[in-house]
Amino acid sequence: MNKGQAEKRIQELRKQTEYYANKYYDEDKPEISDYEYDMLIFELRNLEKEFPELASTESLTQRVGGRVKEGLKKVEHKIPLLSLQDIFNLEEIKEYVEKIQAQAKNKKIENSSFVVETKIDGLTAALEYKDGVLVRGATRGNGTIGEDVTENLKTIKNIPKKLKEKIDIIVRGEVFISKADFEKMNQEREANEEPLFANARNAAAGSLRHLDIDVAKSRPLDMYVYNVQEIEGKEFNSHYEELKYLEELGFNVNPVKIHCQNIDEVIEAIEEIGRKRDELTFGIDGAVIKVDDLNFREILGTTAKSPRWQIAYKYPPEQKATKLIDIVCNVGRTGVITPLAILNPIQVAGSTISKTTLHNQDFIKEKEIMIGDTVIIQKAGDVIPEIVKVDKEKRTGEEIPFEMPTVCPICGAPAVREEGEAAVRCTGIECSAKLYRNLVHFVSREAMNIERMGGNIIEQLLNRNLINNIADIYTLKYEDVLALKKNGKKFAENLINAIESSKNNELHRLITALGIRHIGTKASKTLARKYKTLDKLAETNFEELSNIDDIGPIVANSIIEFFNQEQTKDLIKRLKQYGVNMEEHKEKGTDNRFKGLTFVITGTLDNFSRNEASDIIEKFGGKASSTVSSKTSYLLAGENGGSKLTKAQTLGVKIIDEQEFMKMIK
């Protein structure tokens, strides 16, 4: 490669690594695997070595990736939190150890030993203690400036809030989520049709850096400490001695720390960690080799990016080939139909893999996967099994292409993929796979508002076969629900009354409750005002619906498809039999003080929810919109107004606070 070609490739690599580093560090949404990213950095570093005149301090080979997240307070690290130089083969590790030990001999350093530790796959953080009390915690950020995440770190049970000695100390460690907890989190997210976390590291990072402390509280975060950054009143000779002291103080210290005297022991330690990595409760992506003598570390110093006294060996991801026996489809709680690969069982990274998700039709098409293929499996982040590629050379011609079903495999209702979406969904309202989610939505506050009938009660009703579809709610009797709670007489009475009361709800609540795709509270009110009865809405046509404000062609099509289904017709028929109101209530008042006015609500209100404020606006003849424009009459702004407030100010829209709004509706 000549200099011109090298310069072009270096520019490409810098652009790519910047993009992927931003996705990984700043957005916590990686788009490629750690190994793929490492290989790009490795190629870039080698080209910069070969053509040193093309090197730049702005390259990610020369600086730490990561920026401070907007909304988090900046913290300047007293001691920079540098990153590690990565090595991908054991020969280079041998060269590194030999070089360090030669320097030790030259400097007459007696202790030329090393400590080999696991490189935990998490987010680096520093903890600062004053008189033994935790006063501040921060992420690494760019190494010099990090993010203040003290309150989020305090939610982690294994971080001591008070040490066993009154001492001033700053320590460094890694925040992570264990393999078991990560797998459980993703199983729950999959059941709820939420996007899966790409890996444990980014799940931990996103949780720790979240602006809402309740998110950090709800996540199973943990932390291992592995370094003293600064300490007052104590001196140590070796890193191993430091680690023992950190344990005495009450810190959760990295459990894998192997003291090594020579090259052979270092290599054996790396290989032992590699052999046992599947047995570890936490994910790792390498081993860290550290000089043990602290005075020698001072002599070795650091580069702009990395300490010279430690280095990381990165393990390659384990991949295995196996046969894809079949592709079956699962239906999630929200109706998303997900293809699942059934595999000839294979051991990968310590686990037996017999199935893995294929995500959607686009993924299958991109990887050119067919039933009967030999596929290459690896575990992403050592946890999630995935198909990396197909071994096309092993095809026999008997492989079968796969197409997503056009009907739900559970209930037989049409399965549709809407424009702009990757997912195929079941459209049946009585599909058993979706029943729990549909019931929770039907009884929710924005829909039929059946108080005391939360998710736990619905689960019990389903488990006891007291309800098998939505309409069965209205067949429940006092005796049915009496045993759902201890001393449940009052509960049963209140629940039955709430169910009975919901029969008289306004029509828009029923439309919302039916869960028609793309139809929320606002569109439900529009449809109820327009059609007055559910029967008239069910009999309307596409052209008429498309011309209604806030509806449009995509939503219109969704409404037509919904009411054309036999399952929908059956449900409506049964709801009518049980006395559920199907008509818009007649207007009781003639106060149209907001007629011709359009309001947009932003931020958090003290006395109303946004839905409640919207109801009041519409009750007085006004329109509640979600978008600020030049036609907006008022922006009702609560705390943290955000971009809508900024846009309203730019357009000169009149901005009112909650007190002014309350005067207007008095």
Query: Which residues are known catalytic residues?
Result: 119
Handedness of CA 246, 248, 252, 254 (dihedral sign): positive
Q: Angle at Cα 68 formed by Cα 62 and Cα 73, nearest 5°?
A: 140
Q: Angle at Cα 374 formed by Cα 371 and Cα 379, nearest 5°?
A: 105
The span from the first CA to the last CA of the chain, in angstroms, equals 78
Residue 313 to residues 88, 268, 292, 316, 416, Cα–Cα distance (Å): 6, 13, 17, 10, 47
- Residues 166, 134: contact at Cβ < 8 Å? no
- Map tokens 């059941």 to a residue: 191
- Residues 440, 409: contact at Cβ < 8 Å? no
Locate 134 and state its tokens: 């935790």
- Residue 278: closest CA among 187, 348, 353: 348
What is the Cα–Cα distance from 354 to 324, expressed in whole angstroms? 9
| H or E element that contains 339 | strand 336-348
387, β-bridge pairs: 377
Q: In what order do the strands lie in the sheet with 221-231?
A: 133-139, 123-130, 169-177, 221-231
Q: Where are the beta strands (DSSP E) in 367-484?
A: 374-380, 384-390, 415-416, 424-426
Q: Is 499 helix (H, G, I), strand (E, B) or coil?
A: helix
- Residue 28: closest CA among 186, 180, 210, 179: 210
What is the Cα–Cα distance from 352 to 373, expressed in whole angstroms? 19
What is the Cα–Cα distance from 203 to 186, expressed in whole angstroms? 10
Locate 479 and state its tokens: 């005796």
| DSSP annotation of 23 | I
Count of other CB atoms within 10 angstroms of residue 352: 10
What is the Cα–Cα distance from 300 to 309, expressed in whole angstroms? 6
Locate 649 and state its tokens: 């100010």
Locate 557 and state its tokens: 């099509």
Question: Residue length, the chain?
Answer: 666
426, β-bridge pairs: 415
Locate 290 and state its tokens: 């550290």
Count of other CB atoms within 10 angstroms of residue 74: 11
What is the Cα–Cα distance from 208 to 213, expressed in whole angstroms? 8
